[in-house]
Amino acid sequence: MSYLFIAIIWINHHYLMRFVGAPTLRLIWINFVHLFMVSLLPFATAWVARTRLSSPAVVFYAGLFVGVDIAYNFFEREVLAGADPAQVSERSRVLARRRSLVVLATFATAMLVAIVAPRFGFVLICGALVLHLRPDVAGSRR
């Protein structure tokens, strides 16, 4: 499952990179933070697998996705702020922002739910990532 999660993260990252002109130092550091958070996924995955979805492991896993998604939200905002309006409509920017906030709220909810129902928390994590299967949002210009 985590391999699929990393693929989804990479696809969305790759999609956003096409809107980047000359990268700023701020964008580079935001990207480094995002990639660092993603680099922790193998550790979290091993813990979840070793403990067979124990509550502390799934809480940490969901919390890690909260961190990954916060970093992604900063990255997405920075990239889209500098994107050419001819490439990304205002409507697409708003829809992308809303989707990102829904995903972040779902990860946070999964973290809390995992305290008492780790399997359901894990299902919420998977459900949140489904929202990012398609990197662009409906109505975006190509």
- Within a domain: residue 81? yes
Please give the Cα distance from 36 to 30 (Å, whole number).
10
Give tens-digit pLDDT for 29-68: 999 999 999 999 999 999 999 999 999 999 999 999 999 9
- Within a domain: residue 142? no
- Within a domain: residue 115? yes
Tokens of 54: 């124990």
- Within a domain: residue 125? yes
- Within a domain: residue 139? no
- Within a domain: residue 138? no
Per-residue pLDDT at 137: 56
Find the domain containing 17 and state its range. 2-130
Region 73-92: mean pLDDT is 89
Region 22-27: mean pLDDT is 92
- Within a domain: residue 19? yes
Distances from the Cα of 128 to the Cα of 48, 87, 112, angstroms: 18, 26, 14
SS3 content of the chain, % helix, strand, coil (to 5): 75, 0, 25
Number of structural domains the chain divides into: 1
Res. 133 pLDDT band, cuts 50 70 90: confident
